[in-house]
Amino acid sequence: MNRADGLIQRRNILRENSEGVPKDTQNDEKKQEREDEQDDGDSKETRLTLMEEVLLLGLKDKEGYTSFWNDCISSGLRGCILIELGLRGRVELERAGMRRKGLLTRKLILKSDTPTGDVLLDEALKHLKETDPPETVQSWIEYLSGETWNPLKLRYQLKNVRERLAKNLVEKGVLTTEKQNFLLFDMTTHPLTDNVTKSRLVKKIQDAVLSKWVNDPQR
């Protein structure tokens, strides 16, 4: 009887290694080491936000500015800001419910007002926090881009978004800053300096779009 009690006791006690460290603690430490290694691997690549990636794709490599005919990137960047806030757990779409509401009619709900550390994201987050009742995604894209007929909503406009994102990319070593003369005025441009980062980004998009392509994507 005493022997059985001893077996039960030994099963309940945490196994320790020769140094007296519990096995569970060892597993936690190994898991943390693997996570640290992954973080170190990711840090070798330049980390870009969704807005920075879209701007980088829209910029001409040598000229360093977006096409003058591109009138969609402004709204696109504002949409990226909302998506980035969603990815970081700050906002979410309201539930579809029984009516099965479409994406354009569902409201954008604030989940957390904790700052993200990104100036643009925190500025948009502040506007979202101050707005009650909530607005739709389409409305917020209009407000943040300043393309709204409601004068009371003009204060929500995010200004100089492209320039601010370009400066972030300059700080990360992806772009550089130059001045170009366009007959009547000088314009600040941001030519590409890091071809590897943009090539990696283009390849990532190609893989995402063509991964389910039945034919050979390379063709």
pLDDT of 21? 46
Domains of the chain in start order, with CATH, are 50-95+103-201 (1.10.3630.10)
Of the chain, the end-to-end C-alpha distance in Å amounts to 75
Per-residue pLDDT of the chain (219 residues; tens, 9 = 90+): 555 555 444 444 444 444 444 444 444 454 444 444 444 444 456 789 999 999 999 998 888 888 776 678 889 999 999 999 999 999 999 887 766 677 778 899 999 999 999 999 999 999 999 988 899 999 999 999 988 888 888 899 999 999 999 999 999 999 998 888 777 778 888 999 988 999 999 998 888 888 777 666 565
For residue 114 the two structure tokens come to 């904790």
Q: What is the residue-wise DSSP string for 19-68? A: TS-BHHHHHHHHHHHHHHHHHHHHHTSPP--HHHHHHHHHB-TTT-SB-T
For 130-187, the DSSP string reads H-SS--BHHHHHHHHHT--S-GGGGGGPPPSHHHHHHHHHHHTTSB--EEEEETTEEE
User: Tens digits of per-residue pLDDT, 160-178?
Assistant: 999 999 999 999 999 998 8
Rounded to an integer, what distance in angstroms lies between the CA atom of residue 106 and that of residue 101?
A: 6
Question: Is the pTM here over 0.75, yes or no?
Answer: no
pLDDT digits (tens, 9 = 90+) for 43-58: 456 789 999 999 999 9
For 59, the 3-state DSSP assignment is strand
